[in-house]
Amino acid sequence: MPSTTISSYDEMLDAEGNVRPAYAGYREWYEAQSPKWLEKQGKNAEDVFRRTGITFNVYGEDAGQERLIPFDMIPRIITADEWKKLSRGIDQRVRALNAFLHDLYHKREIVKAGKLPERLLAQNEAFLPEMVGFTPPGGVYTHIVGIDLVRTGPDDFMVLEDNARTPSGVSYMLENRETMMAMFPDLFTKVAVQPVSEYPRALARSLATCAPPAAQGSDRPVLAVLTPGIYNSAYYEHAFLADQMGAELVEAGDLRVVDGRVCMRTTRGWRAIDVLYRRVDDNFLDPLTYNPDSMLGVAGIMDVYRSGGITIANAPGTGIADDKAIYSFMPEIVEFYTGEKPILKNVPTWRCSEADALAYVLDHLPELVVKEVHGSGGYGMLIGPTSSKGEIAAFEKKLRANPDNYIAQPTLSLSTVPIFTKAGLAPRHVDLRPFVLVSPHGINITPGGLTRVALKKGSLVVNSSQGGGTKDSWVLAE
């Protein structure tokens, strides 16, 4: 990909080339290391990842083909003050998301107030009629949220995407830290970094507080993680989380509705599950309600859910909140439910379903990023500035044929963070996905997150499915 001409905010160095405060301690340590040794450590890290099996499967390649996500050993560093502000913004946004979901499936005040067009919901596949009038246990819709952030300046963090259905990547956040601590123990004695290792326990606690009515009175609700199986791209993460939480890792074939409860087949017989952290999409969750061909779900689970026999996390139907068409309304949504001005900005977004916006987008395609409303993982998108005339013309046809399916955004000058190369440190574009847990008692944000990094010079694509890598993300202690 050719390099972008936009000048970006460098998170380590200021315009004069001085090291910013966030990186001061790290740089001092880094300068004292031998580059050869660092390079060797980088290779060792890769071996550790491979041996541990921290891999993901790539769809479209041979079945069972597993790949490593490239790991870069230079941490992305955020100061305690920056994090405080970010946390407030995330907290506010996640509160709004949950209130919004509750409203959508109940009174729809936001539509009545004229802040959100009805048709966005009516045509939306992510909206599930089965959830109308039903409140999930604990009143929580999206128990686990990943908010994708990009930075464009010293004080400018913007939300690129809300992942309210099944955000993944948290295992990389945890393993990246483990790897860094194993490789550079002395570094952590020099620079005080807030720990992330509490996450799995916090997740287990958070889920347990949302136990269904059927489990009331039991002091330890039975928790299970539902995975599509070993060939799923995020299988490693599913196994990792189940392991860390001490929960069972179940597949569809292990589950059945018995006496009004969802049960797993154990060597001692059927055992009821109270809270199911599911990593399969809504559409596959219940062949009786949704996709009848689904082999990944449990027949009848929606009936059990609605009768209070199980908690499903995240709740079915939460996907409507991270729809890209809804995204463009997030500033209004945040204000409507919290009564406050949004702390985190949205990226300006043109909804191609609107005639004026479509006309603008068609005129400016070479400058814009165009995305499918329901797309994810960097698929089905156009990055105007780095696309050929032919690619733009082809995309224009798709856009004209089905404008409702697209949104467009300006090409952002994403901040850069250094990566380790044989020639020394070199800046590359990054984003950040912090992980948020929601329980009836409040919102818990792990200090850090997953930093994804484009490995090619100038590239803005950080998705692992498109060859991006990851880094450890540090939030400095106060």
Partner 1 sequence: MLGRSAWGIFWMARYLERAENTARLLDAGFRMALTRGNTVASDEWRSVLVTLGMDEFYTGDMSGPAITNWLLRGAGNSGSVLSMMEAARTNARMVRTAITREVWEVTNESWMQLQSLLAKPVKEADLGHVLDVIRRQATSVRGAMEGTMLRNDIFNFARIGTHLERADNTARILDVKYHVLLPSAAWVGSRLDNAQWEMVLRSVAGERAFRWLHAGALDPKGIAQFLILDGRFPRSLAYCLRKLTSNMEWLCRDYHQETAAYRMQKEACDKLSKTTITDIFEHGLHEFITEFLATNRLVADAIAADYRFTE
Integer Cα distance of 84 and 155 in angstroms: 12
Q: How many residues does the chain have?
A: 478
What x/- string results for residues 352 through 391 when contact with partner 1 is judged by CB under 8 A?
----------------------------------------
Structure tokens at 137: 């246990």
Stretch that binds partner 1, among 97-105, 238-246, 337-345, 425-433 (CB under 8 A): 238-246
Contact between 234 and 58 (Cβ < 8 Å): no
Q: Which residues pair with 443 in a beta bridge?
A: 438
Give least dist CB 124 to partner 1, A: 36
Binding status of residue 251 toward partner 1 by CB under 8 A: yes
Q: Does residue 265 interact with partner 1 by CB under 8 A?
A: yes
Interface with partner 1 (CB under 8 A), residue from 180, 264, 273, 414: 264
CB of 25 to partner 1, least distance (A): 32
d(CA 355, CA 470): 39
Residue 183 to residue 177: CA distance in whole angstroms: 10
Give the list of residues 6+ apart from residue 366 with CB closer than 8 angstroms, or none.
384, 385, 387, 392
Q: Which is nearer to partner 1, 51 or 389 (CB)?
A: 51
Positive/negative CA dihedral, 395, 398, 401, 402: negative
Residue 97 or 247: the one with the smaller Cβ distance to partner 1 is 247
Q: Per rule CB under 8 A, is residue 51 in the interface with partner 1?
A: yes
Q: Is 220 in the site for partner 1 (CB under 8 A)?
A: no
Which one of the spans 181-189, 242-250, 296-304, 352-360 is the region binding partner 1 (CB under 8 A)?
Answer: 242-250
Give me the least distance between CB of 149 and partner 1, in Å please.
Answer: 31
Binding partner 1 by CB under 8 A: which of 269, 292, 390, 424?
269
90 vs 223 by CB, closer to partner 1: 223
The region of 26-34, 48-56, 73-81, 438-446 touching partner 1 under the rule CB under 8 A is: 48-56
- CA dist 297 and 353 (Å) reads 34
Q: Is residue 267 a contact point for partner 1 (CB under 8 A)? A: yes
**199-208 helix and 170-183 helix, angle to the nearest 10 degrees:** 150
Buried b (16+ CB within 10 A) or exposed e, 426-440: ebbbbbbbbbbbbbe
Question: Does residue 199 interact with partner 1 by CB under 8 A?
Answer: no
Q: Is 43 in the site for partner 1 (CB under 8 A)?
A: no
The yes or no reply on residue 65 touching partner 1 (CB under 8 A) is: no
Closest CA to 409 of 356, 347, 344: 347
Instruction: Tell me phi and psi for residue 67, to 5 degrees.
Output: -130, 155
Contacts with partner 1 by CB under 8 A lie at 50-53, 64, 229-230, 235, 239, 242-243, 248-251, 253-254, 264-269
